[in-house]
Amino acid sequence: MNIWQQMWAIITAPGGVYQSYAWDSIKLSLVAIVLAFVIATPLGMLVARQPIAAFIAANLSGVLRAIPILAFLAVAIDYLGTGFKPSLVALVITGVPPILLNTIAGFQGIDPALLDAAKGLGMTRWQTLLRVEAPLTLPSVAAGMRTSAVQIIATAALAALIGGGGWGVYILDGDYHLNDAELFVGAGSFILLAFAAEFALAGVQRLVTPRGVLVAQARPDEALDLASAPATEPTTQAA
């Protein structure tokens, strides 16, 4: 059999092994993405308007991203055991920084004049947050989720090292047995899942981006011309 036939035989093997591994990887990645969003977004909202807290959060995020996941998994086994739980914690740690940093950047990038205008209209703090800040920040948060999702899915392959299951088992077995078909099935499945998440979240980012921002991004020259055009003098009709 050629390599493609071997790969197809692995995917269609009796007993639904591939499907079981697929469920393990998708469930682990999806739960990690959701938890990273739930943790990072409120935290970013809380610290965005406090320069010192935002600085500390941004630097802690950088430290978390610098920690090798393999090192964390090795330590986590002593406290969390093996399987789903330590794998999930490791992936959440991987996914939080991009969302947190983008949330902070999104809130800090809002023009203060807009907030002053909302206050002048009599909006409460919660009304300003929900009607002004959140819509303007959502595109940045969605971009952070895209980055986070791809990183989580790519790292999910390591879950197999500590009994987390998933397509990573194919990668480990393929490496151990020098079986290219298993390696390609495992790696290819993660690549396809990462592309699917990227395209899906790109659509979400476009949906939550205000229409005016989309127009400005699509036609920046026209937007610039409109912004820089001199105001026309009102004309008066001769009597």
Phi, psi of 19 (to 5 degrees): -65, -40
> Is residue 235 in some structural domain?
no
> Is residue 206 in some structural domain?
yes
pLDDT band at 147 (very low <50, low <70, confident <90, very high): very high
Spatial distance between the Cα atoms of 25 and 133, rounded to a whole number of angstroms: 35
Q: Which of 69, 75, 61, 30 is nearest to 159 (CA)?
A: 69
Quote the percentage of the chain above a pLDDT of 90: 35
> Is residue 85 in some structural domain?
yes
Cα Dmax for the chain: 95
> Is residue 10 in some structural domain?
no
Q: Which of 11, 49, 21 is nearest to 184 (CA)?
A: 11
> Is residue 239 in some structural domain?
no
Return the C-alpha torsion angle 23, 177, 80, 76, nearest 10. -120
Average pLDDT over residues 206-226: 58
> Residue 80 belongs to a domain with what CATH number?
1.10.3720.10
> Is residue 105 in some structural domain?
yes
Q: How many domains does the chain divide into?
A: 1
> Is residue 186 in some structural domain?
yes
| Helices vs. strands in the chain: H and E counts, helices first | 12, 0
CB neighbour list of residue 70: distance below 8 Å, 6 or more residues apart: 158, 161
> Is residue 12 in some structural domain?
no
Q: Which domain holds residue 68?
A: 18-227
Residue 83: DSSP 8-state: S
The reported pLDDT for the residue numbered 148 is 93
Lowest mean pLDDT among 1-15, 30-44, 69-83, 197-211: 69-83
